[in-house]
A = this chain, B = another copy of it.
Amino acid sequence: MPSKTGSHISRAQQMRVLEGFAPVPDGLLLEHGGRIVEGRIAYRLAGIPGAPVVCVLGGISADRIVAVQERDTGRGWWEWMVGTGRPLDTRVHQVLSIDYLFGPGESRGAVVNDTRAPAASDAATVPLVTPLDQAHTLAAVTDALELDPLCGLIGASYGGAVALAFAATYPEKLLRACVIGAADSSHPLATAWRVVQRRIVQRAVAVGDEAGGIALARVLAMTTYRSDIELQQRFSGPPSITEEGLRFPVEDYLDHHGQSFARRFTADQFLCLSQSSDLHVIEAEHITIPVTLVSTDPDFLAPRWQMEDLARRMGDGHQLVRVSSLHGHDAFLTDEARFSEIVKDFVVACGAAAGQGS
């Protein structure tokens, strides 16, 4: 049984928020070698006890709080999508999420490496944890909670990679997946952008400026999340010429996000999840449960050609939903109208698959 950190039930809705830690089976083998020891995954399950469960996984900066419930403070990372009366309605479904292992949340674990040579640098000490490894930790959560197969798993960005790995590996634990902004692997341009981000952080750590390096790496990441046209519409105009040099309108936006991110992530957490994105590889042919792929155009990180190619190789029983949005890769976070419809449709399909009708 999981150890529980909190649980409360709302009288009006019979809503329960169950939070806790699920143990990772000791010695769980990682995809690139090494074993997890003393692992625990922080989870959160919100909704009516007994209702079918949909798991929701976001990008590397997302955590288990998808949307807040009463007593929560702050905001969830997908607030408008999940909750009472929202597209993924917690009166109908329970919503499960987790903190990623080695990310900034409360999941914890250590890697014991029996075979690899001693690490020569800090970079090499960052665990090689893939989206498949994260999928194993999600399986550990569903086992600990003794859940029926998930009726749905919605994963976006890094969470989309985890969702694909989970769908390929645990078809008995999942009826249907919705994968937004993720393909079967990272393409080399996306990897190149992340390589530069990691080098920025490594160089900054070497001179004792971890937060500055993480912020700048996130600034670079932000350039891959939206589109050129959106940024043109929002941030065109001349720079100010200051005593410190030029400052362009887009820099305030970028720096705001860079600094927020740096307050939440350590270098090791960032390096781990960043390289995890680049280690994502699944075999399309291994996916037997139905998957809804959602491709935004443009999306620099999961471009249309790559998701179309994946859809083609997955074959029948799957679906590719095409979205056009200037919000690019991040459209799932910002384009409420379009993504509400997509998730509503997916939830209907989940309900049908779970034998509820629609």
**Interchain residue pairs with CB less than 8 A apart (9):** A121-B245, A123-B244, A124-B243, A189-B228, A189-B231, A193-B220, A196-B223, A228-B305, A246-B278
CB of A342 closer than 8 Å to a CB of B: no
Chain B residue nearest in CB terms to A124: B245
Q: Within the assembled complex, what's the spacing in Å between the Cα atoms of A126 and B243?
A: 11
**CB proximity of A214 to chain B, nearest CB, Å:** 13
Given contacts A200-B200, A231-B187, A236-B187, contact A120 B192 (CB under 8 A): no
Given contacts A228-B187, A231-B187, A244-B121, contact A239 B278 (CB under 8 A): yes
CB of A264 closer than 8 Å to a CB of B: no
Total copies of the chain: 2
Cβ contact within 8 Å between A250 and B191: yes
Chain B residue nearest in CB terms to A301: B228
CB of A140 closer than 8 Å to a CB of B: no
B-side contacts of A254, CB under 8 Å: 192, 195
Given contacts A189-B231, A231-B187, contact A246 B203 (CB under 8 A): no
Interface 1/0 per residue, A153-196 and B, CB below 8 Å: 00000000000000000000000000000000101111111011
B-side contacts of A235, CB under 8 Å: 188
Given contacts A254-B195, A278-B239, contact A123 B245 (CB under 8 A): yes
At the interface, is chain A mostly helix, strand, loop or mixed?
helix
Q: Within the assembled complex, what's the spacing in Å between the Cα atoms of A222 and B207?
A: 25
Cβ contact within 8 Å between B251 and A195: yes
Band of interface residues on A? 35 or more
B-side contacts of A196, CB under 8 Å: 216, 219-220, 223
Given contacts A188-B248, A246-B278, 8 further A-B contacts (CB under 8 A): A123-B244, A187-B232, A188-B249, A191-B250, A192-B222, A193-B220, A196-B219, A229-B303
Chain B residue nearest in CB terms to A242: B124
Q: Within the assembled complex, what's the spacing in Å between the Cα atoms of A249 and B199?
A: 16
B-side contacts of A251, CB under 8 Å: 192, 195
CB of A288 closer than 8 Å to a CB of B: no
Best-surrounded residue of A188, A192, A193 (most CB of chain B within 10 A): A188
CB of A343 closer than 8 Å to a CB of B: no
The 7 nearest A-B residue pairs measured at CB: A123-B245, A120-B243, A188-B250, A188-B231, A189-B228, A188-B235, A187-B232
Q: Within the assembled complex, what's the spacing in Å between the Cα atoms of A207 and B190?
A: 28
Chain B residue nearest in CB terms to A217: B196
CB of A269 closer than 8 Å to a CB of B: no
Interface 1/0 per residue, A101-119 and B, CB below 8 Å: 0000000000000000101
Cβ contact within 8 Å between A188 and B275: no
Cβ contact within 8 Å between B121 and A228: no
